[in-house]
Amino acid sequence: MAPTPRRTQVGIIGAGPAGLFLAHLLHRQGIESVIIESRGRAEIEGTIRAGVLEQWTVDLMNGMGLGARMMREAHFHSGITLRFNGESHHIDMEELTGGKRVTVYAQHEVIRDLVAARLEDGGKIRFGVRDVRLLDLDGDTPLIAYRTAEGEEVLLRCDYVAGCDGFHGPSRQAIPASARTEYQKIYPFGWLGILTEAPPSHPELIYARHDRGFALLSTRSPEIQRLYIQCDPQDDIANWSDDRIWAELHTRLETRDGWRLTEGPVFQKGIIAMRSFVCDPMQHGRLFLAGDAAHIVPPTGAKGLNLAVADVLVLSRALAAFYREGRRDLLAGYSATCLRRIWKAERFSWYMTTMLHRNEQETPFEQRIRLADLDYVVHSRAAATALAENYVGLPIE
Among this protein's residues, is 299 annotated catalytic? yes
Q: What is the CATH number of the domain that holds 216?
A: 3.30.9.10
Active-site residue identified among 207, 210, 295, 357:
207
Domain end residue (candidates: 352, 369, 390): 352
One digit per residue, the tens of pLDDT, for the chain of length 397 reads 567 679 999 999 999 999 999 999 999 999 999 999 999 999 999 877 778 999 999 999 999 999 999 999 999 999 999 999 999 999 999 999 999 999 999 999 999 999 999 999 999 999 999 999 999 999 999 999 999 989 999 999 999 999 999 999 999 999 999 999 999 999 999 999 999 999 999 999 999 999 999 999 998 888 899 999 999 999 999 999 999 999 999 999 999 888 999 999 999 999 999 999 999 999 999 999 999 999 999 999 899 999 999 999 999 999 999 999 999 999 999 999 999 999 999 999 999 999 999 998 899 999 999 999 999 999 999 999 999 999 999 998 7
- Name the domain boundary from 220, 242, 274: 274
Are 194 and 253 part of one and the same domain? yes
pTM above 0.75, yes or no: yes
The number of CA neighbours under 13 Å toward the Cβ of 395 is: 3
**In degrees rounded to 5, what are phi and psi of residue 103?**
-120, 125
**Does 207 qualify as catalytic in the annotation?**
yes
Same domain, 126 and 240: no
Please choose, from the candidates 76, 67, 62, the residue with its C-alpha nearest in 3D space to the C-alpha of residue 104.
76
Position 2 scores a pLDDT of 60
| From 24, 27, 75, 77, the catalytic residue | 77
The verdict on residue 250 lying in a domain is yes
Is 100 considered catalytic here? no
Q: Which of 24, 295, 303, 357 is catalytic?
A: 303
pLDDT for the residue numbered 171: 98
Catalytic choice (75, 295, 299, 334): 299
| One domain, residues 15 and 131 | yes
- The count of domains in the chain is 2
**120 & 140 share domain:** yes
Q: Are residues 123 and 235 in the same domain?
A: no
244 occurs within a structural domain? yes
Let me know whether 45 and 174 are in one domain.
yes
**Boundaries of domain holding 267:** 187-274
pLDDT given for residue 4 in this prediction = 66
303 is catalytic: yes
Edge-first strand listing for the sheet containing 102-104? 52-53, 102-104, 75-77
Residue 129 placed within a domain: yes
Residues 203 and 235 in one domain: yes
Per the domain annotation, does 374 fall within a domain? no
In a domain, 147, yes or no: yes
If we measure between CA atoms, which residue out of 327, 318, 307, 287 comes closest to residue 396? 307
